[in-house]
A and B are shown apart, each in its own frame.
Chain A
Amino acid sequence: DIQMTQSPSSLSASVGDRVTITCQASQDISNYLNWYQQKAGKAPELLIYDASNLKTGVPSRFSGSGSGTDFTFTISSLQPEDIATYYCQHYDNFPLYTFGQGTTLGIK
Chain B
Amino acid sequence: EVQLVESGGGLMKPGGSLRLSCAASGFGFSGSWMSWVRQAPGKGLEWVGRIKSRVSGGTIDYAAPVKGRFTISRDDAKSALFLQLNSLKTEDTAVYYCAAHSRVGTIDFWGQGTLVTVSS
Contacts and interface: CB of A to CB of B under 8 A. Distances in A.
Interface of A: 32, 34, 36, 38, 42-46, 49-50, 55, 87, 89, 91, 94-102
Nearest to B111: A43
Given A44-B45, A99-B44, A99-B47, A91 B105 contact: yes
20 contacts: A32-B105, A36-B45, A42-B112, A43-B97, A43-B111, A44-B107, A46-B107, A89-B45, A89-B106, A91-B106, A95-B47, A96-B61, A97-B35, A97-B47, A97-B107, A99-B47, A100-B44, A101-B44, A102-B44, A102-B45
Band of interface residues on B: 20 to 34
Contact of A99 (B46, B50, B97, B108): B46
A55 B108 CA distance: 9
Interface of B: 35, 37, 44-47, 50, 61, 63-64, 97, 103-108, 110-113
A48 to B, nearest CB: 10
A62 to B, nearest CB: 15
